[in-house]
Structure 1
Amino acid sequence: MKLISLRIITKDIKQSVQFYEKAIGLTAQWYTEDFAELSTSTITIAIGSTQTMKMFSDNPIESTGNKSSIIEFLVSNVDDEYQKIKDITPEIVQEPTTMPWGNRSLLFCDPDGNLINFFTPVSPEAIKKFS
């Protein structure tokens, strides 16, 4: 089994896609007005409007953001990324902080309230783990 995609359901797809394009520096591929994807070398971030949920069920769930999961991105320098992120969202949960497990992490929210972590390994053990 291989995890290849993470789908975010949103009430405002244009706002969410623009946010992720700025945050991760990729251009989205739009397939319909209700569905777009941003692909990295390891995973695809799919973004669908709440309308897409009607294709799965007659009783679609509502997009309310998620505070129990964190979408994580390995970045080369989390402090540099912070300078960019603080200009695109007021929802900074944690400024860059070195965590006990050796990653320097920046935690913030996307427009729907989903938690996002940008992190850079800084301890020898963490650097080895992600190299």
Structure 2
Amino acid sequence: MKLTMKYVILYVNDFEKSMDFYKGILQLPVKMQQGTYVEFVTGATTLSINTRKSVKEEIGLDVPEASVSTQTFEVGFVVEDVPATIEILREQGVTIIKEPVTKPWGQTVAYIADPDGHYIEICSSVE
């Protein structure tokens, strides 16, 4: 069996806040939108959002409300200059979870949060 990752969907509470964050602040181009389901252009793997309400009503998945206090995964974006990107995001009011640090393997990483608290890694490429 060969699996290929096509997309990741984040379930969000406030559609407008999430659109402002991903389209406005992170400047991700919209690939496709159908109601509250949106796909963003992010390279080989598509990042999508959809409201929890829509997933429950239209798909029938039992999605819990966003009262989770811990995260179990992260979404990562590679940038050329991690510290400069973090400063731009800070100026726009984005929550910075971890300031940029250089890991022993040479990669610089920092963490931010989206409006629903999803962890987003902002990192340099691994050389």
Q: What TM-score do the two structures reach when normalised by structure 2?
A: 0.83
Gaps in structure 1 of 5+ consecutive residues: none
The residue that corresponds to 1:19 in the other structure is 21
Alignment partners' CA distance in 1, 2:8 and 2:63: 18
- 1:60 and 2:63 aligned: yes
Please report how far the alpha carbon of residue 29 of structure 1 lies from its aligned counterpart in structure 2 after TM superposition: 4.3
8 A Cα contact 1:73 1:119, kept in partner: yes
Residues 66-106 of structure 1, C-alpha deviations (whole Å, 9 max, x = no match): 61211111111112211211123342111111112321011
Q: Which runs of 4+ in 1 moved over 6 A?
A: none
Count how many residue pairs are aligned between Structure 1 and Structure 2.
Answer: 123
- 1:89 and 2:93 aligned: yes
Secondary structure at 1:2 match in 2: coil
Please report how far the alpha carbon of residue 3 of structure 1 lies from its aligned counterpart in structure 2 after TM superposition: 0.7
Alignment partners' CA distance in 1, 2:61 and 2:123: 39
> Structure 1 residues 38 and 64, CA, compared in 2 at 3 Å: closer, same or farther?
farther
Higher helix proportion (structure 1 or 2): 1
Match 2:41 to one of 17, 39, 42: 39
Q: What TM-score do the two structures reach when normalised by structure 1?
A: 0.81
> Structure 1 residues 18 and 30, CA, compared in 2 at 3 Å: closer, same or farther?
farther
The CA RMSD measured in Å over matched residues stands at 2.0
8 A Cα contact 1:17 1:28, kept in partner: no
Gaps in structure 2 of 5+ consecutive residues: none
Residues 98-124 of structure 1, C-alpha deviations (whole Å, 9 max, x = no match): 112321011111100010001014xxx
